[in-house]
Copies of this chain bind each other. A is one copy, B any other.
């Protein structure tokens, strides 16, 4: 266990009583002994240090110590993944990998070419949230990503516009054709604090969807000539953005070619 995620209802306090799955996980699966301690995090990313005080046959009590609020990821840019709903169980895998890559929020999107009608939306949301929580515990991602309720495609700009108001934002969508001569390095050089990644379903984005995003200030990015499966595209997109940001002190935009200079200024707000 890298980091234990506290139950959503946890509001602070010196002690925490756990039963059910959490008790089972800690005391049966992890076989935690009295006095044993481990790191934890709440739904807002605040860190704690937990110590097992006592364990019964169906529940256990933990001592809770709050840690400083300085997260390892503090100062890191925030990624929001707008993922058009793919077929079958692919979204499960996308949630798992997006959490590992540190997505702060994942928004399922009903798009023109999305196949699924998303029956039992509540049940599936519940499932994705459980998968996200498990992935956080495995990966030490620290902050539990939010899995938002599904939005329709044309709701993306408004949804992103309302998220983390006041932050410097950049909306990027990924397209199979190189729509622009811009680059991810160019877009990201503008220093955005919150970045939306819009990834299409199996059938890609419809022309009117591309137009809608362009009008809302989202910029097109290109990941190469290969056709990526729906479940690989968001990992590639998130990984590409992460490595460029992680190494942002190590590179500068290429100069000497004026046509590239425009790349450095895509910092228009991506939502109206």
- Taking CB atoms and an 8 Å cut-off, the chain A residues in 240-271 that contact chain B are 240, 242-244, 246-247, 249-255, 260, 263
- Taking CB atoms and an 8 Å cut-off, the chain A residues in 62-103 that contact chain B are 72-73, 96-97, 100-102
Q: Check A19 for interface membership: any CB of B closer than 8 A.
A: no
Decide: A97 and B250 in contact? CB cutoff 8 A. no
For A235, list chain B residues within 8 Å (CB).
Answer: 97, 232, 235-236, 239
Say which one of A112-120, A134-142, A206-214 lies at the interface with B: A134-142
For A186, list chain B residues within 8 Å (CB).
Answer: 250
Q: Check A5 for interface membership: any CB of B closer than 8 A.
A: no
The minimal Cβ–Cβ distance linking A265 to chain B, given in whole angstroms, is 14
Complex CA distance for A177 and B39, rounded to whole angstroms? 19
Decide: A228 and B183 in contact? CB cutoff 8 A. no
| 7 A-B pairs (CB sep. < 8 Å) | A97-B232, A97-B235, A100-B226, A100-B228, A138-B227, A139-B227, A250-B260
Decide: B254 and A254 in contact? CB cutoff 8 A. no
The minimal Cβ–Cβ distance linking A189 to chain B, given in whole angstroms, is 9
Q: Check A224 for interface membership: any CB of B closer than 8 A.
A: yes
Q: Check A223 for interface membership: any CB of B closer than 8 A.
A: yes
Q: A97-B235, A240-B243, A246-B223 are in contact. Are A139 and B254 (CB under 8 A)?
A: no
